[in-house]
Amino acid sequence: MDMPSEIQHQAMGYDRTATMFSPDGHLLQVEYAEKTVRLGSSSIGIVCKDGVVIVSDRRINDKLILPESANKVFEVDDHIIISAAGILSDARVLIDKVRVVAQQHKVTYDSSVDVEEIIREIANTKQMFTQYGGARPYGVAILVGGIDNQGARLFSSDITGNYFSYTSFAIGENDEKIKEVLRMKYNKNLNISGGIKLSLGIFKEILGKNFDLNRFDVAYVSTETKRIKRIHGDELKKHI
């Protein structure tokens, strides 16, 4: 009786390092990290006609935790926001790294950094940890939104260090289900309010009785102000 390929790979040690390819061409530690991302709480990013918005599920189960201390949307610069799914401590390290990159760019060139430069820096760092021994891959997917000279932009980077630009995207738990809804319902003429309404509607459909406005972290950057705006609790009610 033949063993399943995953068990066989484990028995032969192909999953003990991120730098060892299995005979069928897989980096198993990288694939395990991708499974970790799908256990993380979800985030939805949408490019709107007047900006870019990210809606993230904090997924707080402990009443002792202050919701504002468990933010899922982070500020990189005045015009760039980031969310993550997976091991958030890994995300924090990457976010701190690109915050420095953004400030160095501002000091050196007296201008704001492009959104793509931020995601490229994150993707390059993640790729390094799939290539060199002695360290595990970053167990986190990243969603980056912001405004630059090309307008509203949204990028996502996976475990391997690939990144792409999107009109709308989702990471974390139920990401495939969410992306299917976005493919059907996304409209390039959505404004920021419509983008928030669409995202919350998707979460309401998926979460069912567990849906609660207080569990969401919502932020957007408008093309007019190029500044981050956060929306909390009762402010979200008008978008339902």
Residue 119 in any domain: the answer is: yes
Beta bridge partners of 145: 81, 154
Burial (CB < 10 A; 0-12, 13-18, 19+), residue 240, is: exposed
What is the structure's pLDDT at 4? Answer: 65
Domain CATH code at residue 212: 3.60.20.10
- Long-range contact set of residues 23-32: C-beta below 8 Å, sequence gap at least 24: 27/130, 29/136, 29/137, 30/130, 30/137, 30/159, 30/160
* Measured distance CA(103)–CA(109) in Å, rounded: 10
pLDDT in tens, the chain (240 residues): 454 666 555 546 777 777 788 888 888 888 888 999 999 999 999 999 999 999 999 987 777 887 777 889 999 999 999 999 999 999 999 999 999 999 999 999 999 999 999 999 999 999 999 888 778 899 999 999 999 999 999 999 999 999 999 999 999 999 999 999 999 999 999 999 999 999 999 999 999 998 988 889 999 999 999 999 999 777 888 877
Residue 117 in any domain: the answer is: yes
Sheet containing 73-77: which strands, arranged edge to edge? 73-77, 80-86, 140-148, 151-157, 163-165
Note whether 47 and 166 are within 8 A (CB): yes
Residue 61 in any domain: the answer is: yes
**Number of independent structural domains in the chain:** 1
Rounded to two decimals, the pTM is 0.91
* Measured distance CA(58)–CA(231) in Å, rounded: 14
Residue 75 in any domain: the answer is: yes
* Measured distance CA(205)–CA(95) in Å, rounded: 30
Contact partners, residue 166, CB within 8 Å, separation at least 6: 45, 47, 154, 155, 156
What is the structure's pLDDT at 128? Answer: 92
Helices (H), 64-174: 88-109, 115-128
Residue 31 in any domain: the answer is: no
Range of the structural domain that residue 142 is part of: 56-239
Our measurement of the distance from residue 7's CA atom to the centroid of its chain's CA atoms, rounded to an integer in Å, reads 31
Sheet containing 51-57: which strands, arranged edge to edge? 168-171, 43-48, 51-57, 216-222, 228-231
Residue 34 in any domain: the answer is: no
Residue 44 in any domain: the answer is: no
Residue 149 in any domain: the answer is: yes
